[in-house]
Amino acid sequence: MTKSEPLGRLRLGVNIDHVATVRNARGGPYPDPVRAARLAETAGADGITAHLREDRRHITDADIEALSKGIEIPLNLEMAATDEMQAIALRHKPHAVCLVPERRQERTTEGGLEVARDENRLAHFIAPLRDAGCRVSIFIAADRRQIEAAHRIGAPVIELHTGAYCEHDIAGDVAARDAECERLREMAQFAHELGLEVHAGHGLTFENVKPIAAFPEVMELNIGHFLVGEAIFSGLDSSIRRMRSLMDEARREAFGEGVA
């Protein structure tokens, strides 16, 4: 295979956390994240992503329970590497578990997981999840040291943190954005050469998704906040369909017609 061929179809995981954020603003039952997940499925999502945070600020335990039972497409549970979350994941056995760093005072997941300094613990942490059949991924910065550590602990998948790339894009710092994009591209390639499956996400929008979607090694993008925000103007169905079509367009532009 040449570098100019994608490794496979690029999947879209739709993160529905912020449907729950809006619901929780009033404490009632709507808007319902499961309804959003079902709608995402009909709009072309390949999976649903939900982050059960330690402080339950958006997704709740009941949401994870309802999503586990109420959707047909795979559920990707994002969580911190804590005993509490491990027990929840082992109870529900979602298709995928993505380990993310978590700090209570942060507004969103600010950096990647520090795998290199916590290898032994994380290797033990993911073993039962893998034994239970969950596809474990580790959310990390585009950093060679972290990628190597994720590989050493036996994680089959990494998700590259695109937050810095997106922040530079929003700030209009083209040079910094392009440098970060190049770093992500190189690290996607490096991770793939180690045998890891590569995903990416955080902060992606209609404006900045295409360069990332064009990386041949990237198999999945997880996108949430922008899609839910855009749904205010165009509806969730339309925002997801547009994102899907931009991802497909990026693949066609990079690899030719017939490739998505």
What is the rounded end-to-end Cα distance, in angstroms, of the chain? 16
Taking Cα atoms as reference points, which of 130, 127, 64, 58 lies closest to residue 92?
64
Taking Cα atoms as reference points, which of 99, 92, 97, 86 lies closest to residue 71?
92
Point out which span in 66-74, 175-183, 198-206, 240-248 binds ligand PXP (CB under 6 A).
198-206
Residue 114 catalytic? Answer: no
Residue 192 catalytic? Answer: no
**Residue of 151, 161, 192, 202 marked catalytic:** 202
Give the one residue of 224, 236, 243, 250 binding ligand PXP; rule: CB under 6 A: 224
> According to the binding rule CB under 6 A, does residue 125 interact with ligand PXP?
no
> According to the binding rule CB under 6 A, does residue 98 interact with ligand PXP?
yes
> According to the binding rule CB under 6 A, does residue 223 interact with ligand PXP?
yes
Residue 151 catalytic? Answer: no
> According to the binding rule CB under 6 A, does residue 208 interact with ligand PXP?
no
Binders in 36-65 for ligand PXP, by CB under 6 A: 51
Query: Which residue has tokens 């969950």?
Result: 134
CB contact at 8 A, 228 and 236: yes
**Residue of 18, 58, 78, 161 marked catalytic:** 78
b vs e for 32-65, b when ≥16 Cβ sit within 10 Å of the residue's Cβ? bbbebbbbbbebbbbbbbbbbbeeeebbbeebbe
Nearest approach in angstroms of CB 171 to ligand PXP is: 16
Backbone phi, then psi, for 111, in 5-degree steps? -135, 180
Give the one residue of 109, 146, 208, 239 binding ligand PXP; rule: CB under 6 A: 109
Nearest approach in angstroms of CB 224 to ligand PXP is: 3
Give the one residue of 226, 230, 240, 244 binding ligand PXP; rule: CB under 6 A: 226
Residue 41 tokens read as 């499925």
- Interaction mask 130-169, ligand PXP, x per CB under 6 A: ---------x-------------------x----------
Q: Report d(CA 246, CA 242) in Å as an integer.
A: 6
- Interaction mask 1-40, ligand PXP, x per CB under 6 A: --------------x-x-----------------------
Q: Report d(CA 41, CA 14) in Å as an integer.
A: 9
CA angle 151, 143, 130 (to 5 degrees): 25
Nearest approach in angstroms of CB 258 to ligand PXP is: 28
> How many C-beta atoms lie closer than 10 Å to residue 3's C-beta?
7
- DSSP run (H or E) holding 166: helix 163-171
Q: Report d(CA 151, CA 80) in Å as an integer.
A: 19
- Which residues are catalytically annotated? 51, 78, 202
**Which residues contact ligand PXP (rule: CB under 6 A)?**
15, 17, 51, 78, 98, 100, 109, 139, 159, 201-204, 222-226
